[in-house]
Amino acid sequence: MKLKGHRINGGRVEGEAIVCADAFSFLGDFDPTTGNCLIKTPGLEGKSMIDKVLVCPTGKGSSRGPLNTYRAMKLNKSPRAIVCIEAEPVLAAAAMVANMPMVDRLDQNPLEVIKTGDWVKVDGDNGIVEVIRPGNQ
């Protein structure tokens, strides 16, 4: 399944999806030294975000979030890309400083279409997200 959206940051990557149903911040919801999710939601807390495609509704600020993302990137502990319903400036800045492709405003709600564990190809250059369910490759 291919979704068309809006380019926030270019680049092409693919990886396993990790879906967060709430607004996400790289300060407080993410440990840049381990790459683990800190959100206290069953199934997410402590889960590695390394090389994953983060899918979330939007960001929730803290201007220090991009610094944490950059730190994680330098330690090879960051996600590969971000797909969201609507980017906010701090989450977009985090993607940019860590050179992660980011796409928002898709033609379908990514939280309804993408599930944790799906394989996701993100083409940030063209604003395209391809979702591949395990076993349907």
Q: What gap in Å lies between CA 64 and CA 108, rounded to an integer?
A: 30
State how far the Cα of 119 lies from the Cα of 59, in Å rounded to an integer.
22
Phi, psi of 66 (to 5 degrees): -60, -35
78 is catalytic: no
Tokens read off for 61? 């600020």
Catalytic residue among 25, 48, 62, 78: 62
Distance (Å, whole) CA 135 – CA 107: 24
Indicate which residues carry an active-site annotation.
Answer: 62
